[in-house]
Structure 1
C-alpha cells in the first residue's frame, strides 16, 4: 500500500523588494499606502522619438551602491535588481545558511524577458562595428533569464531545486506557486521565490508602442496608469524585483521565524485564446482563481481582498473584472479590490512578486493600498465592486488573492491566509 503524502503547511518568512516607489520593502509599502505614483519621464535614454516618453523607473539607482565595479559589469540590470531583493529577503528572514541543510533550500526566480538591456546594447554595438565584432564575454550569461536564479543559488551555496519559470507577466506569481508546491510536498524546506525585470529600454518601449499596449499620456504621465478608468489607454511599464522566502511551517517554527502570511493555494490555467489578448469573458482568469480557491479548501465567499492584475488596458481590466464578477457574484460588495499597478506600473515578469509582497503585508497589517488615478470608473464595471479608489482601506483579512496574467494566455492566482499558529 502506498504511503499517503501528508501536505505540509507553508508560510512566508522574509520579504525583499526594489521598486519604482521604494528601494526596499519598507519604502515600497509606505508609498503604496500613501498612494505615490512611480511614473516619471524616462531618464535612461532620449525617449522623445517614441509615442510613450515615460515609465516607472527606479529612482536614483546606481549599481555601485550595491555591487563592486567588477561584479556589476557581469550582471544585467534585471539580475542586479533580483540579487538586491533576494538579499533583503534573506536578511529579513534571518536565514543563516551555515546552520541549515542547504540541500533542501532552493531558488525559483523568474524573469519574463531576462537581460533585454544587455542584448539590445550588444547588438547595437555589433551593428555599428560589424567589421570587427567584439562581444562582451559575459554577453550570454547576462541575457539568459535563468542566470539570476542560478546566481542567487551560487552566491548562497543553495543546492536544492533551482529554475526560472518564464510565463511573461505571470512568471513570478508562478514562481511563488511552484515554491509552495515543492515545500508542501516535502521536497524542500525553504525556497527563495520571486521575479525581476528591467524592461525600460528603447527596443522595449518601441515594441510595446508598436503593439499599442502602452499609455501615451505624456502630458499627464503621473496619472497615466488608471486601472478600471473609462479613459485608460494602456499600461505603464515599470522595473524592479521582489523576493519572498517561502518556508515550511515546521522549519519556520524550528527557527523561531516571524511569519507574514500562510500560503494556502495556487491556481494556474490558460486563456487558450490569443497570444497577447485576454479572453473577453476572462475564462482563464476565472479558472485560475477557482483552482486556487479550491486548492485552499475554501469558498469564494471567504476571500476578503483581491490584488487585481489590472494593468490599465481596455480589454485586460474588463476581462479580469468579468471573471471576478462571475466567480464572486453574491459576495461582490464584501470584497475589497485594489490595483497597485496604478502606482508601480507594470513590472512584467517581476510584477507578481511585488504584488505578492504587498498582499502579504495587507494580510499581516489589515491595510489595503489604494487604487490611484481612477476618477471615472468604466460603466461596464459593476457598481457593487469596492475598488479602493483614492485612499488606503483598513480591513481585517483572513484570505487574500493576488492575480497575474501574461502574454500567451498564462493565468495564475495566489491565495494567502492570515497566519494563525
Structure 2
C-alpha cells in the first residue's frame, strides 16, 4: 500500500522507523513511564506533498481528463508526516502539529519541541520533517524565480572558472559561497527524539547532543517577499550570545563552528556571509569554521536544517566537519574577514567542538538559528545535577542500549531494515476504548492515564 502514498510519506515511514532502530529502546518502555498526553510529534513539509499521489494528482486530474483520488487532498497536506507517525508508527494520542516556515521549518519544529519539554507539556518529542519536492511543477516554480542551477548556466560558469566545460559537472552544481549560479533541489527525511534529562537517564537513552537554544524571527517590512532582511541577524546573534554565556568566550571563539544555510545562490552567498561575518566580529571570533552541507545534498526545503543537524551529530561521532566540496575558494563578494569557509575537511578529536550553530534563511522572512551542544559538554553538565548512584545506574542501562543500536546498525548495513507500518493496528474507538472520569482518562492498551487535575 505504501506505493500509493506520496514519496515524502514513504520517506517518513522509513525514516522514523530507522530513528526508532537507532534509538535502541523499545517504544513500549516509554509508554510505561510517560502519560500518553506527554508525547508530542512535530513534523511535516514546507511546500506540501506535490507528487501525483498528493496535491499534484489533485491539481492535474481535470487537465488529464481524470478524477481526483479521495487520497490526493489529505495526503498532500503539509503536516501529514506527523499524522503518519502518530497513526501508523507510534499510535500516539499526544500533542501533534507542524510549524511551517519555508526553509526554516525544521528549526521551527525544533523550537516547538524544545519549548514543549521546558514548559512541561511533553516529556518526549519527535521532531522531524520529510520533503520530496523534485516534481516538474515545483522545478518550474523555482526555475521561474531564477533560483536553480541549470545546465546552460553551469557550462558558462565552468568555462569562466577554466574548468572542463564539455558537459555540466553535476557534482559541483551547488557551490555555496563560491562563484555560483543557483541551488539544486534535494529530498530528505530527518527525525530526532527529544526528551527531558530525567527520562533519558531513567531509560538509559544514548545522549547524542542537547538543544541549548533555538531562535526564530521575521524580517520586518520588505520589498520583495523572497529577499533577505534583518531577521537572521537577530536569530544568530541570540544563539551566539547564549553560547558565550554557556560555554564562555574562549570556547565560543575556538571550539564552535557553523552549518550555514548555504543554498548556492549569488544572493545567499553575500547576504548570509555578511550575517556570519558581522556576528563573528561582534563576538571576537577571528576564524570561524563554516561549512554548507547543501553542496552534497542539495536543498531539501523544510528538512534542510535537519540535514545540518544530522551532519553535526556525525561530526561528534567521527571528528570530521565535511568541507564545501564544490568550491576551491570563495567568491569575491563573500564577506569572510572573520570566517573560515572550509574547502578542506576539518579533522579534530570528536569531542573537540563544544557547540555547533545551525542557520536557516527562508522565503518570506522565515529565519531561524540553533545552538547545539555536543555530547561531551552536555554530559559534563548532567553530571553536576545527578548523584553518583543515578549516573552508575544510567551507565548500566546505556550499555544495553548501545548493544541494541549496534545490532540494529549491523542489520541495517546489510539491508535488513525494521520498517514499522501498523495499518489498522489496535485502532481506538471512542465508544468502547476509553474511560473518562473527572480526574483522568484511561485509554485501552496504555499503562498510564491522562491526568485531568490541574
**Corresponding position of 1:77:** 7
**Corresponding position of 1:7:** none
Q: Note if 1:285 corresponds to 2:232.
A: yes
Q: Which has the larger radius of gyration?
A: 2
Checking the alignment, whether the CA contact within 8 Å between 1:173 and 1:412 is kept in structure 2 is yes
**Corresponding position of 2:261:** 309
**Corresponding position of 1:26:** none
Which moved further from structure 2: 293-302 or 380-389? 293-302
Which moved further from structure 2: 142-151 or 291-300? 291-300
Match of 1:124 among 60, 69, 74: 60
Q: Note if 1:150 corresponds to 2:83.
A: yes
**Corresponding position of 1:62:** none
Partner Cα separation in structure 2 for residue 370 and residue 414 of structure 1: 20
Deviations 1:340-386 (A, max 9, x none): 11000000111111211112232444321111111231123225421
> CA distance change for structure 1 residues 95 and 104 in 2, over 3 Å: closer, same or farther?
farther
Q: What is the RMSD of the two structures over their aligned residues, measured on CA atoms?
A: 1.9
Counterpart of 1:322 in 2: which secondary structure?
A: helix
Superposed counterparts of 1:186-225, under 5 Å? 186-216=120-150, 217=154, 219-225=168-174
Q: Note if 1:275 corresponds to 2:225.
A: yes
Match of 2:110 among 160, 176, 201: 176
Q: Note if 1:405 corresponds to 2:361.
A: yes
**Corresponding position of 1:227:** 176
Which moved further from structure 2: 158-167 or 340-349? 158-167
**Corresponding position of 1:98:** 28
Q: Note if 1:372 corresponds to 2:325.
A: yes
Superposed counterparts of 1:253-402, under 5 Å? 253-272=201-220, 273=222, 274-279=224-229, 283-295=230-242, 297-298=245-246, 302-303=251-252, 304-329=256-281, 331-380=284-333, 381-394=335-348, 396-402=352-358
Deviations 1:111-153 (A, max 9, x none): 1112111322332232121xxx421121112100111111101
**Corresponding position of 2:444:** none
Give 1:313 shift: 0.9
Partner Cα separation in structure 2 for residue 350 and residue 288 of structure 1: 18
How many residue pairs match? The answer is 344
Checking the alignment, whether the CA contact within 8 Å between 1:261 and 1:364 is kept in structure 2 is no
Checking the alignment, whether the CA contact within 8 Å between 2:48 and 2:55 is kept in structure 1 is no
Checking the alignment, whether the CA contact within 8 Å between 1:293 and 1:300 is kept in structure 2 is no
TM-score normalized by structure 2?
Answer: 0.72
Partner Cα separation in structure 2 for residue 214 and residue 138 of structure 1: 31
Partner Cα separation in structure 2 for residue 228 and residue 111 of structure 1: 26
Partner Cα separation in structure 1 for residue 249 and residue 233 of structure 2: 11
TM-score normalized by structure 1?
Answer: 0.77
Greater relative CO, 1 or 2 (CA 8 Å, sep 6+): 1
**Corresponding position of 1:20:** none
> CA distance change for structure 1 residues 383 and 326 in 2, over 3 Å: closer, same or farther?
closer
Mark the runs of 5 or more structure 2 residues left unpaired by the alignment: 156-167, 383-454
Partner Cα separation in structure 1 for residue 196 and residue 302 of structure 2: 25
Give 1:402 shift: 0.4
> CA distance change for structure 1 residues 291 and 383 in 2, over 3 Å: closer, same or farther?
closer
Partner Cα separation in structure 2 for residue 195 and residue 340 of structure 1: 17
Counterpart of 1:333 in 2: which secondary structure?
A: coil
Deviations 1:134-182 (A, max 9, x none): 2112111210011111110122112222101111110012111211111
Checking the alignment, whether the CA contact within 8 Å between 2:57 and 2:68 is kept in structure 1 is no
Partner Cα separation in structure 2 for residue 95 and residue 374 of structure 1: 41
Deviations 1:387-409 (A, max 9, x none): 11133432611111101111111
- Give the number of the structure whose residues are more often helix, by fraction: 2
Checking the alignment, whether the CA contact within 8 Å between 2:322 and 2:344 is kept in structure 1 is no
Superposed counterparts of 1:26-65, under 5 Å? none
Checking the alignment, whether the CA contact within 8 Å between 1:307 and 1:401 is kept in structure 2 is yes
Give 1:238 shift: 0.5
Which moved further from structure 2: 404-413 or 79-88? 79-88
